[in-house]
Structure 1
């Protein structure tokens, strides 16, 4: 497997705004730590408990600067990974992080610029990893995006999710509004509301088999798998 950015793939309508995260790539990790402390990494670690054993073929969508990539490879040293990221600068930082921390794993990772729309029709994975990325997809585009990801799952492959939880009132609702406003202003993000991912993935035949919450319930880690017939 080659370690390559794959060029600048054509992004689907509405997804080009995700390249706006180039503007915050330099400070994104520090910013999330400032606001959330270690809560987001704790949620991601909890979800990664669902990684299949052995040498799984892993899809990481929207992994940002690459912390989750190195975490996956430390847990599954023989895994192969497609790292799919819409921000070229985030992608570059992830490549640099891997080269610095786990250079021996370079041949196991393909870095590809794009979104779920950049997946090939025959590509299938043993596990999907979507951490704090689905919240960046506009609600009008969510059904298509989730269907594209679902089509890339092999039978019984888990879908590992870490993301924010919807809130209709209180401080969590204010937090979500503030985050969406901030990222609209800084990155041009089109999304402005959070989808109920449990309901959305349930409609695609998936069920939560494990879950935990963090940051006083604002963040959730969920392991999904196919519903039993």
Structure 2
């Protein structure tokens, strides 16, 4: 099975903290305050679920759908969540979403980088169909830079997850280009670690 994070789910957050300190959490929470209080939010590939508490602690009172393909990640998410009665947990991929459901906000944190280019195009197109016309898409991830240290770290990360999770992807792609193909552009952007990690708010170009 591709992109199977069951094996490393129990130590995933710990490993991230060892390598990146608090930077990954900082990047993923940066734009949470821009989410409307009563929005209908979809989080794809949410990992161990710590971000659920972070979202509700901003004063969020809307609906949250949380999709995760890893059984162990879903289990940890439910265990760690202080607001489980307000969350619709779905074990599966984007195909498990109700086809007629629309969302005001989609969050993909370190999620799009696991796919091959063909699958990435499919995932982005499908999710875009479930985003309201005036909705926002918050994407946090790695991006390529010219720094050798960054390139070495990314090589190690992809090799590590190829071994431990049978990662489908082998390298980073240009997410901006992929969003432009569905008619979305960055309206806000935030980076850390000299540009290695970013969080962006993508909005339909018709609204810009």
Relative contact order (C-alpha < 8 Å, sep 6+): which is higher? 1
Aligned to 1:128: 106
- The question of 1:67 aligning with 2:45 is answered no
Q: Distance in 1 between matches of 2:41 and 2:149?
A: 35
Partner of 1:22: 6
CA distance, structure 2, for counterparts of residue 123 and residue 164 of structure 1: 29
After TM superposition, the structure 1 = structure 2 runs for residues 165-184 of structure 1, keeping only pairs within 5 Å, are 165-167=143-145, 170-184=148-162
1:47–1:162 Cα contact (<8 Å) kept: no
In 2, Cα distance between equivalents of 1:108 and 1:49: 18
Alpha-carbon separation, structure 1, partners of 2:33 and 2:136: 11
* Cα distance change, pair 168–216 in 1 and its aligned pair in 2 (3 A): closer
Secondary structure of 1:65's counterpart equals coil
1:44 to 8, 28, 35: 28
- Name the SS for the 1:191 alignment partner: coil
Contact 2:33 2:58 in 1 (8 A): no
Deviation at 1:50, TM superposition (A): 3.0
Q: Is the 8 A contact 1:47 1:161 kept in 2?
A: no
RMSD: 1.4
Shift of 1:169: 5.8
Between the aligned partners of 2:48 and 2:113, the Cα distance in structure 1 is: 17
Task: Give unmatched runs, 5+ long, in structure 2.
Answer: none
Q: Is the 8 A contact 1:50 1:223 kept in 2?
A: no
Q: Give the TM-score of the pair, scaled to structure 1.
A: 0.86
Distance in 1 separating the partners of 2:153 and 2:124: 25
- Out of 74, 97, 102, the position equivalent to 1:119 is 97
> How far, CA to CA, are the matches of 2:178 and 2:149 in structure 1?
24
Partner of residue 17, structure 2: 33
Larger fraction in strand: 2
- For the residue of structure 2 that corresponds to 1:27, the secondary structure is helix
Aligned to 2:73: 90
Q: Secondary structure at the match of 1:26?
A: helix
Tell me the matched-pair count.
207
3-state secondary structure, aligned to 1:34: helix
